[in-house]
């Protein structure tokens, strides 16, 4: 319904030559559904700037099942305290010297929950370590399988790149040196120098996530698969200009795995390097949405339409301010309309 109303009104505006703001269109739509007076709240999170201590591989498949160019995932965590649509993100890493920004052929972003969610706990040793035949522990790791993903090839994310520094050195790296126990502690692959590049990602189909603890996994593929993107670390604990974790939550360390290690993960610091921990450099932005269970003020939704109209009102505010695109607004409200929130 949202898409039809919005598109018909925009078409009418074009035909008449009027300049009615699309945010106002959304407000009309929200009023049609008995809009609540919810105020729009933005979400933002950042781990801060690179600290030069670690650069870890993160590249998508499909690729060889093993070997130097196999799929590899690096992960770092974030916490949401309310239902949120993640509309954008940035992450910073190294491209090899001589590689052009135009050599980036694909960007993926995956979202994982924290183990034991979405995981086969039965294949582990159980508490307290939840070890497996491949790794010493799965406690506080990403889950076995991703919850959601977005991919530039599929067109549900777009990206731009910015060269920050033509020559940046990380004191250590983890790329091909990822091995199951008992050979997991390699001390790292050693220092690496490359071009410091920031990726700015827009999710044309935003991630809509409930309040929970998650892992963020960006992956970059280059035109020559023998060249590898390496994600740069950030300070742990987080320092300014990074965003502190919400009170009562814990900033978990970075993890990594390749296709050989899947579905398990290793801690980049504690397991591979030894005696240390890392964060990774990324940020996220988005829109805080009303809880599916009921209004933030308490109680339950009067009906499904009330929930959808509240989402439409919030999205309209963000669209009117130019903080999200029409495509993102359409995706968020369409998702609300397809949800069961408020249904009796």
Give 125-176 pLDDT, tens digit per residue. 999 999 999 999 999 999 999 999 999 999 999 999 999 999 999 999 999 9
| Res. 6: pLDDT tops 60 | no
d(CA 78, CA 70) in angstroms, rounded, equals 26
Would the pLDDT of 1 be above 50?
Answer: no
Measured CA to CA in angstroms, residue 240 lies from 48, 110, 227 at distances of 6, 26, 32
Indicate if the pLDDT at residue 232 is higher than 80.
yes
pLDDT band at 36 (very low <50, low <70, confident <90, very high): very low
Per-residue pLDDT at 29: 46
DSSP 176: S
pLDDT of 66 reads: 82
Question: pTM for this one?
Answer: 0.89
Confidence of residue 40 (pLDDT cuts 50, 70, 90): low
Which of 59-73, 182-196, 245-259 is the least confident region? 59-73
- The burial class, CB within 10 Å (0-12 / 13-18 / 19+), for 200 is middle
> Is residue 277's pLDDT more than 90?
yes
Q: By mean pLDDT, which of 11-25, 271-285, 327-341 is the weakest?
A: 11-25
Q: pLDDT: is 227 or 19 the higher one?
A: 227
Which of the four pLDDT bands, split at 50, 70 and 90, describes residue 37? very low
Please compute Rg for the chain using Cα positions: 22
pLDDT at residue number 238: 98
Average pLDDT of the chain is: 90
Residue 297 has pLDDT above 50, yes or no: yes
Distance CA 195, CA 188 (A): 20
How much is the pLDDT for 296? 82
- The pairing of beta strand 84-95 with beta strand 192-209: antiparallel
- Cβ atoms of 206 and 87 within 8 Å: the answer is yes
Q: If you search the block for the tokens 């814990």, which residue do you land on?
A: 250
Instruction: Give the mean model confidence (pLDDT) for residues 164-189.
Output: 98
Mean pLDDT score, 235-259: 97
Mean of the pLDDT values across residues 90-106?
A: 98
- The pLDDT value given to residue 19: 35
How far is 96 from 162, CA to CA, in rounded Å? 15
Q: Which DSSP letter does residue 254 get? A: P
Q: Tell me, what's the pLDDT at 16?
A: 35
Average pLDDT over residues 260-285: 98
């Amino acid at each position: 319904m949202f898409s039809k109303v919005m598109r018909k009104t925009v078409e009418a505006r074009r035909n008449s030559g009027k300049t009615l703001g699309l945010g106002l269109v959304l407000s009309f739509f929200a009023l049609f559904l008995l809009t609540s007076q919810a105020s729009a709240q933005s979400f933002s999170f950042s781990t801060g700037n690179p600290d030069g201590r670690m650069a870890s591989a993160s590249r998508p498949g499909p690729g060889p099942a093993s070997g130097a160019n196999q799929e590899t995932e690096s992960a770092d965590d974030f916490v949401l305290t309310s239902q949120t649509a993640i509309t954008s993100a940035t992450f910073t890493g190294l491209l090899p010297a001589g590689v052009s920004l135009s050599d980036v052929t694909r960007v993926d972003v995956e979202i994982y929950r924290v183990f034991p969610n979405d995981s086969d706990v039965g294949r582990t040793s159980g508490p307290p370590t939840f070890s497996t035949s491949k790794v010493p522990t799965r406690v506080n790791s990403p889950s076995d399988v991703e919850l959601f993903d977005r991919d530039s090839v599929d067109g549900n994310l777009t990206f731009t790149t910015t060269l920050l520094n033509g020559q940046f050195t990380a004191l250590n790296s983890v790329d091909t040196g990822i091995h199951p126990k008992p050979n997991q502690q390699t001390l790292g692959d050693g220092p690496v120098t490359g071009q410091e590049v920031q990726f700015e990602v827009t999710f044309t189909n935003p991630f809509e996530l409930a309040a929970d603890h998650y892992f963020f996994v960006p992956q970059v593929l280059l035109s020559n698969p023998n060249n590898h993107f390496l994600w740069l670390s950030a300070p742990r604990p987080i320092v300014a200009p990074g965003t502190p974790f919400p009170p009562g939550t814990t900033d978990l360390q970075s993890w990594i795995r390749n296709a050989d290690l899947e579905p398990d993960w290793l801690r980049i610091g504690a397991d591979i390097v030894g005696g240390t921990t890392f964060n990774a450099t990324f940020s996220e932005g988005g829109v805080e949405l009303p809880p599916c269970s009921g209004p933030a003020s308490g109680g339950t939704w009067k009906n499904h339409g009330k929930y959808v109209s509240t989402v439409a009102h919030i999205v309209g505010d963000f669209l009117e301010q130019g903080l999200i695109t029409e495509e993102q607004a359409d995706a968020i409200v369409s998702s609300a309309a397809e949800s069961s929130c408020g249904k009796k």
